[in-house]
Chains A and B, each alone.
Chain A
């Protein structure tokens, strides 16, 4: 096991109260694996990514749990050690909207070199930039351009190149294809698959786009209101989901062979005052008495699926 997250809690201390954005989440990632974190907006999927990078923004705080990288709890390390040895070196992240993450006043090449320099890379900078650009299927000449001279898809690939600069073992990709056209999305997907193959990279793919996710991930975690509702191999999640939330979400994906899509009525509960019992109880068509009283525990099935639901 390369990465393991145990009982992670991330709370945001807002004026309205404590928002439990991530509440008791467990997950793991093996070497060379692609896992998906999926859910609606506000489900806590991005926050988990930020917590693994130890970059939870103010007023959020990691309130509990462990994040183990090869067995070592990285939450216990002091900031300087983590920055020097882990962030970007072992675990890198492609942020949501990272296409606008480049500063407009420097060439892409210089921005990537800055990353190399700050992290003490020894070697030929220019050669490394060229290598990285080839890795993400881009003409190395484009490194000489300024960000505004590149298209959205090119910028996204350049950012992935920057994330790979120090040979990380884990890449966290937070909505890497949102706002891109479908052709470009598929290219980025192909690129991530290639990188996994060539570098034995492990990827955490965070997205709300389930159709896209189904084409890339080995296993998935379905998040709702800060909790994992179901996790399992993609075959189960997308073909035979057990949790009502997962099946409703899969049914609501628009694909070309559907004539109608259903939705999930209602909206996510206020996480500063989450409902008692199962957090999905306000929208679940199968909710019973017990769902409003007690929180369901994760139950494992023989096909590798795990579900937190009173139906099972």
Chain B
């Protein structure tokens, strides 16, 4: 294994992961034990006030990456650092309750991630009380205002809220403790299209006014493009491409990213009588060695089967792991 600490590691980072590996051992009663590499050698960092979009298909390891960075999942190998007030905290070694003041998470499903019979006020007060904060009411009011929820709702029970209101509450719960870094795990996926725009706006506004850094996990590339400054494309536990959102969308380098962008639905009824050409094979195959993507890649070469490509900087800030470059 080659150490490649320079990739994406910049001095003004808030979160930094280095050579991160998360392996799960799977075994059934009858089947042999085998190892699933949920994340393999991932190195990236998130700057202050930055929104890093993490996109990938199901099984790409994006949720695992988010969980590892806030200490909810122990990595098999590798380090995660969070920088708070010029101190560097090693997430691996820190206790969850010591870092939960600085890191928070927003979950995908606003129905199952908040206790439905709690009062809205208590949902927001609990994390503050737990951290022995003062000025609780003022902080709660501020959070409610940031997510655009009327203060009258504070006395309501969570089950009385609509889906969109619950997701706002879930964001308010994350920002009320004034963290440094928030992992948003598919916060718009369960919502109707009509609500997605508002949730994205709230996250953008919160970043502007409070200076949070975000990891925004999504499988929807257009959503990632709208919300993030940079995008990391994950495929089977590997970062295959990393760059600014505009670069990734306008000038995708990895065949996987190119394929994704090509097939993405556009609002175009004139396409309806045609079959869409899909160059990439649909079924995910996990190769034993070589590039993770070669079984589906339209450009696969003999080299791809044998050797794994490293992330390489092609233009400033734009990295790709592919033997074509």
For B269, what are the chain A residues with a Cβ–Cβ distance below 8 Å?
Answer: 214-215, 217, 233-235, 237-239
Selected interface stretch from B8-16, B35-43, B98-106, B214-222: B214-222
* Complex CA distance for A5 and B52, rounded to whole angstroms: 48
Chain B interface residue bracket vs A: 35 or more
Q: Which of A183-198 contact B (CB under 8 A)?
A: 183-187, 189-190, 193-194
Q: Which of B165, B200, B261, B275 contacts A193 (CB 8 A)?
A: B275
Q: Please, which residues of chain B bring their CB within 8 A of the CB of A211?
A: 265-267
B278 within 8 A of A: yes
Query: Any chain B CB within 8 A of the CB of A252?
Result: yes
Stretch among B85-93, B124-132, B279-287 lining the A interface: B279-287
Chain A residues, Cβ within 8 Å of B261: 256
B249 within 8 A of A: yes
Residues of B close to A256: CB separation below 8 A: 221-222, 225, 249, 261, 264, 266
Which of A16-24, A112-120, A167-175, A262-270 is near enough to bind chain B? A262-270
Return chain A residues, CB-CB under 8 Å to B222.
254-256, 258
Interface Cβ pair total, 8 Å cutoff: 137
B265 touches A212 (CB 8 A): yes
Closest to B250 in A: A256
Q: Given A249-B193, A254-B222, A254-B226, are A183 and B272 also a contact pair (CB < 8 Å)?
A: no
Report whether B272 and A186 are in contact in the complex, using a CB–CB cutoff of 8 Å: no
Task: Report how far A153 CA is from B197 CA in the complex, Å.
Answer: 28
Residues of B within 8 A of A263 (CB): 193-198, 201
Partner pick for B192 among A40, A183, A193, A250, CB 8 A cutoff? A40
Residues of B within 8 A of A153 (CB): 282-283
Interface residue count on the A side (C-beta < 8 Å): 52
The closest CB in chain A to the CB of B269 belongs to A234
**Smallest Cβ distance from B27 to chain A, in angstroms?**
15
B-chain residues with CB within 8 Å of residue A85 when the two chains form the complex: none
Taking A214-B265, A215-B271, A253-B267 as contacts, is the C-beta distance between A183 and B280 under 8 angstroms? yes
Question: A133 vs B197: C-alpha distance in the bound complex, in angstroms?
Answer: 40
Name A191's closest neighbour in chain B (CB-CB).
Answer: B275
Do B264 and A255 touch (CB < 8 A)?
yes
In the complex, the chain A residue whose C-beta lies closest to that of B263 is A186
User: Looking at the complex, which one of A151, A182, A261 makes contact with B200 (CB distance below 8 Å)?
Assistant: A261
**B196–A182 touching, CB < 8 Å:** no
Q: Judge whether B275 and A194 touch: CB under 8 Å.
A: yes
Residues of B within 8 A of A257 (CB): 266
> Nearest 4 A-B pairs (CB), nearest first?
A263-B197, A234-B269, A254-B222, A264-B194
